[in-house]
Amino acid sequence: MALYDKILILTGAGMSAESGLGTFRDKNGIWSHYNVDEVATPEGFKENPQRSHDFYNYRRGLHAKAEPNKAHKALARLEADYPGDVVIVTQNIDDLHEASGSNKVIHMHGQLDLARCGVCDFIYDFPYETMSVDHSCPSCMRAGQQRPDVVWFGEAPYHMEEIQKELANCFLFLSIGTSGSVYPAAGFVNMARKTGAHTVELNLEPSVGAVQFHEVHEGKATDIVPRYVDRLMHEADIARKLVMN
């Protein structure tokens, strides 16, 4: 490991599951209780916006109570103490990375504490309140077209150009708590490998794309993420001492 190399970390629902936010595609995940087409697509919102609001209001309630777990805190420690850059790309719409102290976070699926106007595209803070069809945009004052600033199925993820640049310049790519089945994020590992990065999956169980990684480690995020961060910091300390000598 060379000093000052960039680490790029992709995080998914498994990262925040132990904070009480649940996962999506497991047997008892969120999508086993809700019809994704009804609550998380532009078509579902157009058909019945209040139904979609009710779903996200429920999730806002969960997010308001959630706190960063040991895995979030370990990544914040890595960013603070590692001698190179550490960038997090998250599929999660919570703010637990920021709450734990991470600063370089890219939200590719948006953030639940933001809202977006469907009329004028104005994006504004919406910190864990109840949203309804009666809510008005603070910019254009129109009601009925306000929505959470999250990426729905059928919509393009945010910040893809920036993410591609980060993938092209990392020496280590970590994927934590992801199903490996949702694109374009599922393709990040191959993009990183093509530029020569070492790739590592940290997951409760191997994802559908686990064979594409150089290393796969299984376990709870709160166990394996702090352990892997300790390993990285130990390797960085060794590299520093070799340079100094």
Active site members: 109
What is 41-83 written as a DSSP string? SHHHHHH-HHHHHHHHHHHHHHHHH----HHHHHHHHHHHHSS
Peptide bond before residue 42 is cis, with ω within 30 degrees of 0: no
Strands (E), the chain: 7-11, 86-90, 105-107, 110-117, 123-125, 146-150, 172-176, 198-203, 215-218
- The first and second tokens of residue 207, run together, are 């994802």
Instruction: For residue 104, give the 3-state DSSP assignment.
Output: coil
Please give the backbone phi and psi of residue 88, each rounded to the nearest 5 degrees, phi first.
-105, 125
Strands (E), 97-169: 105-107, 110-117, 123-125, 146-150
Cα gap 245→242, rounded to integer Å: 5
For residue 29, what are the contacts with CB-CB under 8 A and spacing of at least 6? 13, 22, 23
Cα gap 100→125, rounded to integer Å: 20
